[in-house]
Amino acid sequence: MSDAPDAILAIDFGTSNSAAAIWQDGALRRIPIAGGEDTLPTAVFFPTRGAAMQIGQQAVQSLIDGEDGRFMRALKSILGTSLFHESRLVGGKRRTLSEIVTAFLAAVKARAEAETGRRFTHALSGRPVHFHSADPARDRKAEEDLRACYLAAGFAGVDFMFEPEAAAVASHSLGRPEELGLIVDIGGGTSDFSVYRAPGGRVEILASHGLRLGGTDFDHAISLSHAMPLLGHGTELRRTFGEGLLPVPNGVYQDLSSWPKIPFLYTRDTQKLVADLVKHAVEPKKMTRLATVIGDELGHELAFAVEKGKIAANSARPEARIAMGYIERGLAADVTPASMDAALGAYRRALHQAMSETLDMADTAPEAIGRIVLVGGSSLMSLVADEAKALCTKAEVSRSEAFTAVVDGLAIASGRP
């Protein structure tokens, strides 16, 4: 196995999907980490009986097949928080999320080395412009957490590059060299933007900006507005003593709609809380459905159903719905483009404002942008292109490689002299 000093592995460790690539012999080479695919879900599964951790599509399949174990996704969202270092019982052993992310990165490294026959001593990793857009201290801590995971995974060193800047490196050939471009990179957990131009084929970044908003937030809002009301969200409770009614508390629904928090709901405390809600519910049938989800650990099945319904509604399919038959026979929540847009209206405004702020940072007028390049799986949501085009009215819209533009750019950047 080669151990060349320039053995740098480019890794896009994403909230929803991850990818790896290298610059080899003057060309980009994506590395199929699992199943021959260029990307893999950023997901892990720990079988109950202590078998080895599974990653990617294998982890997702174990969940779908109903195997006993703990499934986790969107771990990147927890970077920079105290939860990242809390020890919990997972797969028959007490582990921290830091240790789980380290194990995921170590698996990516080992599989990349097996695939290429090279030993990778260093990593060039993508990172959002802001892990936490409203908290600079937590944002710094998030990069420190991720750096520590890379080092613990066996890399001697790791450098970071803003994800939209990496996407600009990969996508600059989509426009004319002299034209100003705007990268709009909407991933699973963050939205990132870069204004760039590429004179002489070298990408020049004029400004980068971002906010903590992505596809998992879209799922969260759609779940709360469409699915959770069928589980009792927004209903009322009878008082134990006295007259009058109380609103059902939101906490369990907020966590059940959040990918990274779902695994931590399956506790005796949560079961006791939900049992009390059922006892006092004005609409006990709905609350009993919630008890089924918690008791049978169906949170991730529900989250996948919400994601599927979102994608169908975004394509304006008339049959778009959140299928919930595994909770109760025939149960489903219809999703239309109009109902989804109503749920995501605040996010439209946030995206528009962030793009406008990026242009201000670059001292660039919206009408000066000649090309908008959409990157990231969640950029496929129609509201993203709508808001970008509404701001930069003279720009052409191009779609880069939605799921690999970042890792492609990282690999190209790693090969620069």
Is 214's pLDDT higher than 70?
A: yes
Q: Contact at 8 Å (CB) between 278 and 291?
A: yes
- The C-alpha atoms of residue 327 and residue 287 are separated, in whole angstroms, by 12
Q: Return all residues near 366 (Cβ < 8 A) that are at least 6 apart.
A: 356, 359, 391, 392, 393
Say which DSSP state 402 is in.
T
What is the model's pLDDT at position 2?
A: 53
β 8-13/17-24 pair status? antiparallel
Encode pLDDT of 39-52 as tens digits.
Answer: 999 999 999 877 78
Q: What are the structural domains of the chain?
A: 8-163+408-414 (3.30.420.40)
Is 1's pLDDT higher than 70?
A: no
Q: Which two tokens stand for residue 175?
A: 């426009």
What is the model's pLDDT at position 202?
A: 87
What is the model's pLDDT at position 3?
A: 47
Number of H helices, E strands in the chain: 13, 20
- Among 320-324, 353-357, 413-417, name the one with the lowest average pLDDT: 413-417
Amino acid at 98: S
Hunting for tokens 């590429």 — which residue is that? 198
What is the model's pLDDT at position 6?
A: 52
Q: Which two tokens stand for residue 27?
A: 């060309």
Encode pLDDT of 132-189 as tens digits.
Answer: 988 899 999 999 999 999 999 999 999 999 999 999 999 887 777 778 999 999 999 9
Encode pLDDT of 247-269 as tens digits.
Answer: 999 999 999 999 999 999 999 99
Q: Contact at 8 Å (CB) between 344 and 310?
A: no
* Average pLDDT of the residues in 23-46: 92
Q: Return all residues near 129 (Cβ < 8 A) that are at least 6 apart.
A: 162, 163, 164, 190, 192, 193, 208, 209, 210
Is 231's pLDDT higher than 90?
A: yes
Q: Return all residues near 65 (Cβ < 8 A) that are at least 6 apart.
A: none
What is the model's pLDDT at position 93?
A: 87
Q: Which two tokens stand for residue 369?
A: 């942008």
Query: Rounded to a whole number, what is the distance in angstroms from the first to the last CA of the chain?
Result: 24
* Average pLDDT of the residues in 318-333: 95
Q: Contact at 8 Å (CB) between 353 and 346?
A: no
Is 4's pLDDT higher than 80?
A: no
- Among 102-106, 159-163, 220-224, 314-318, name the one with the lowest average pLDDT: 314-318
Residue 319's pLDDT band (cuts 50, 70, 90): confident
- The C-alpha atoms of residue 361 and residue 358 are separated, in whole angstroms, by 5
Output 130 or 316, whichever has higher pLDDT: 130
- Among 18-22, 92-96, 207-211, name the one with the lowest average pLDDT: 92-96
Encode pLDDT of 271-287 as tens digits.
Answer: 999 999 999 999 999 99
CA atoms within 13 A on the CB side of 356: 10
Amino acid at 166: A
Is 304's pLDDT higher than 70?
A: yes
Provide the mean pLDDT of the chain. Answer: 93
Residue 88's pLDDT band (cuts 50, 70, 90): confident
Say which DSSP state 212 is in.
S
